[in-house]
Amino acid sequence: MYLKHRLLLGTFFLFSLQAFAQSYQRTSLGVKATIQSMNVEVQFYSPRIVRVLKSPEGVAVKRESLSVIKLPQQVPLTVSEQNNIVTLKSELSVVQLNLSTGKVAFADLSASPLFTEKDYGAQFTPIKDADNATYAVRQAFLLNKDEVIYGLGQQQNGKLNQRGQKVYLKQENTRVCIPFFQSVKGYGIFWDNYSPTTFSDNVQETSFDSEVGTCLDYYFMYGGSADGVVAQMRDLTGQAPMMPMWVYGFSQSRERYKTQFELMDVVKKYRALKIPLDGIVQDWQYWGKDNNWNAMSFDSTTFPRPQNMVDSVHNLKAHLFIVSWPGFAPQTKQYQEFKSKNMLINFDTWPPNANTKPYDVYNPQARDIYWSYLNKGVFSLGIDAWWLDSTEPDHINIKERDYDQPTFLGTYRSVHNAFPLMHTKGVYDHQRATSSAKRVILLTRSAFAGQQRYSANTWSGDVSSNWPTFKRQIPAAVNFSLTGLPYWNADIGGFFAGSFVKGGGAKNPDFQELYVRWMQFATFTPMMRSHGTDIPREIYQFGTRGDWAFDVQEKFINMRYHLLPYLYSTAWNVTHNAGSIIRSLYSSFGADKQGYENNTEFMFGPSFLVSPVTEKGSKTQSVYLPAGATWFNFWTGEKYEGGKSINQETPIEIVPLYVKAGSIIPWGPEVQYAAEKKWDNLEIRIYAGANGEFTLYEDEGDNYNYEKGAYTETTFKWDDAQRSLTILDKKGSFKGMIGGRKFNLVLVKTKNGAGNQLSKAAKVITYKGKQQVVKL
Phi then psi dihedrals of residue 644, to 5 deg:
-150, 165
CA–CA distance, 56 with 36 (Å, rounded to integer): 9
Task: Give the three-class secondary structure for 416.
Answer: helix
627-649 tens-digit pLDDT? 999 999 999 999 999 999 999 99
Please tell me whether residues 62 and 116 are part of one structural domain.
yes
- Mean pLDDT, rounded, for 372-385: 98
284-337 tens-digit pLDDT? 999 999 999 999 999 999 999 999 999 999 999 999 999 999 999 999 999 999
* Interstrand relation of 488-489 and 456-459 (parallel, antiparallel or unpaired): parallel
> Which of 189, 212, 237 finishes a domain?
237
pLDDT at 8 over 50: no
Are 85 and 99 in contact, with CB atoms under 8 Å apart?
Answer: yes
Are 326 and 393 in contact, with CB atoms under 8 Å apart?
Answer: yes
Please tell me whether residues 120 and 163 are part of one structural domain.
yes
Q: How does residue 761 score in pLDDT terms, banded at 50, 70 and 90?
A: low
CA–CA distance, 28 with 90 (Å, rounded to integer): 14
CA–CA distance, 600 with 612 (Å, rounded to integer): 7
Please tell me whether residues 360 and 219 are part of one structural domain.
no
- Mean pLDDT, rounded, for 419-436: 98
Does a structural domain hold residue 414?
yes
Does a structural domain hold residue 583?
no
Does a structural domain hold residue 639?
no
From the candidates 41, 360, 389, 592, which is the catalytic residue? 389
CA–CA distance, 203 with 574 (Å, rounded to integer): 36
Compute the chain's Rg from CA coordinates: 28
Are 216 and 55 in contact, with CB atoms under 8 Å apart?
Answer: yes
> Which of 577, 602, 630 finishes a domain?
577
Q: How does residue 758 score in pLDDT terms, banded at 50, 70 and 90?
A: low
Please tell me whether residues 437 and 503 are part of one structural domain.
yes
Which pLDDT score, from 0 to 100, does residue 751 have?
56
Does a structural domain hold residue 594?
no
From the candidates 235, 348, 392, 683, which is the catalytic residue? 392
pTM, two decimal places: 0.96
> Which of 237, 263, 278 finishes a domain?
237
Are 592 and 628 in contact, with CB atoms under 8 Å apart?
Answer: yes
Does a structural domain hold residue 642?
no
Please tell me whether residues 38 and 163 are part of one structural domain.
yes
Please tell me whether residues 227 and 271 are part of one structural domain.
no
Calculate ∠ Cα 434-437-442, nearest 5°. Answer: 70
Please tell me whether residues 252 and 401 are part of one structural domain.
yes
103-148 tens-digit pLDDT? 999 999 999 999 999 999 999 999 999 999 999 999 999 999 999 9
pLDDT at 532 over 70: yes
Please tell me whether residues 148 and 251 are part of one structural domain.
no
Which pLDDT score, from 0 to 100, does residue 756 have?
53
CA–CA distance, 516 with 20 (Å, rounded to integer): 67
From the candidates 205, 299, 462, 700, which is the catalytic residue? 462
Q: Tell me, what CATH number does 227's domain have? A: 2.60.40.1760
Please tell me whether residues 184 and 261 are part of one structural domain.
no
Catalytic (active site) residue 283? no
Least confident range from 75-84, 425-434, 755-764: namely 755-764
Does a structural domain hold residue 448?
yes
472-504 tens-digit pLDDT? 999 999 999 999 999 999 999 999 999 999 999
Q: Tell me, what CATH number does 359's domain have? A: 3.20.20.80
CA–CA distance, 700 with 737 (Å, rounded to integer): 8
Please tell me whether residues 67 and 157 are part of one structural domain.
yes
- Determine what percent of the chain is predicted with pLDDT higher than 70: 96
Calculate ∠ Cα 236-240-241, nearest 5°. Answer: 135
Catalytic (active site) residue 201? no
Q: How does residue 567 score in pLDDT terms, banded at 50, 70 and 90?
A: very high
Q: Considering the chain, what is the average pLDDT of its residues?
A: 95
Residues 6+ apart with CB under 8 A from 609: 601, 602, 603, 623, 625, 626, 631, 657, 658, 659, 660
Q: What domain range is 412 assigned to?
A: 247-577
Q: Tell me, what CATH number does 765's domain have? A: 2.60.40.1180
The gap from C-alpha 429 to its chain's centroid, in whole angstroms, comes to: 19
Number of domains within the chain:
3
Does a structural domain hold residue 62?
yes
CA–CA distance, 695 with 711 (Å, rounded to integer): 12
Please tell me whether residues 255 and 225 are part of one structural domain.
no
Please tell me whether residues 216 and 320 are part of one structural domain.
no
Q: How does residue 11 score in pLDDT terms, banded at 50, 70 and 90?
A: very low
681-725 tens-digit pLDDT? 999 999 999 999 999 999 999 999 999 999 999 999 999 999 999
Does a structural domain hold residue 344?
yes
Are 240 and 452 in contact, with CB atoms under 8 Å apart?
Answer: yes
Cα 759 to Cα 241, 459, 725, 748: the distances in Å are 38, 40, 15, 6
pLDDT at 554 over 50: yes
Q: How does residue 21 score in pLDDT terms, banded at 50, 70 and 90?
A: very low
Cα 723 to Cα 118, 188, 314, 667: the distances in Å are 55, 40, 46, 20
Single-letter code of the amino acid located at 384: D
Catalytic (active site) residue 462? yes
Within 10 A of 509 (CB to CB), how many other CB atoms are there?
12
Paired with 181 in beta bridges are 151, 189
Which pLDDT score, from 0 to 100, does residue 704 have?
98
SS3 percent helix, strand, coil of the chain, rounded to 5, is: 25, 30, 45
